[in-house]
Amino acid sequence: MTEEARPVLAPAADPAPLGLAAFALTTFLLSAANANWMTGATGNAWLGYALAYGGACQLLAGMWEFRNRNVFGATAFSTYGGFWIGLFLWVQFVAPGAKSAAAADHDLGWILLAFAIFNTYMLIMSLALNVAVFTVFLTLEITEIVLFIGNFAGNTSIVHIGGYIGIITAIAAWYTSAAGVSAGVAGNRILLPVGRPLLAHRA
């Protein structure tokens, strides 16, 4: 097929608001449990949504970001979609066989440490995007660090603090999602600011 005969594919709609919303809701539910807000509930309200929304929908958003040639979005959404699916599978199939609660906590500590390492370079790269995205990755970084410390130490008070920071992370992600929706609605007069890049693009 010649260059002239190749079809030009229209870009897909921006999948970032979906990915951010899926991440925000699942993070909020788990963080509310970690913060000990769900005293009158099972505490596992997040579990199904980790698979279906934070997992599957966010993974789909990541695949669509590949279609849009957005390396950052594709990497972030696909990775955290995999995180939620993996966490669902760990809770359902691995945690029940743990020899002790401490062993399960240490598993979570290692998982969160690994994702904190990944999140560190994504946080640095987000400096080139905008303040809203940077805020999501900054609060997420703090959440993961506090939670892996709390889980390694077996300290529920530290985990509760991580839960509160996770709620802030979810709010930041919801706001960034809403900003993306507002920008994607044709003729919309309600445009939520996301701020400028904190790191200037190279010339």
Any domain includes 60: yes
Using alpha carbons, select from 178, 173, 200 the residue that is nearest to residue 28.
173
189 lies in some domain: no
Domain assignment present for residue 75? The answer is: yes
pLDDT in tens, 22-33: 999 999 999 999
Q: Running DSSP on this structure, what letter comes out for residue 100?
A: S
- For the chain, the domain total comes to 1
User: Would 133 be classed as within a structural domain?
Assistant: yes
In a domain, 119, yes or no: yes
Let me know if residue 191 belongs to a domain: no
Euclidean distance between CA atoms 192 and 181, whole angstroms: 9
- Is residue 3 scored above 70 in pLDDT? no
The domain of 29 spans 16-36+44-93+101-184
CA distance 165 to 140: 8
pLDDT digits (tens, 9 = 90+) for 23-79: 999 999 999 999 999 999 999 999 999 999 999 999 999 999 999 999 999 999 999
Dump pLDDT digits (tens) for 138-148: 999 999 999 99
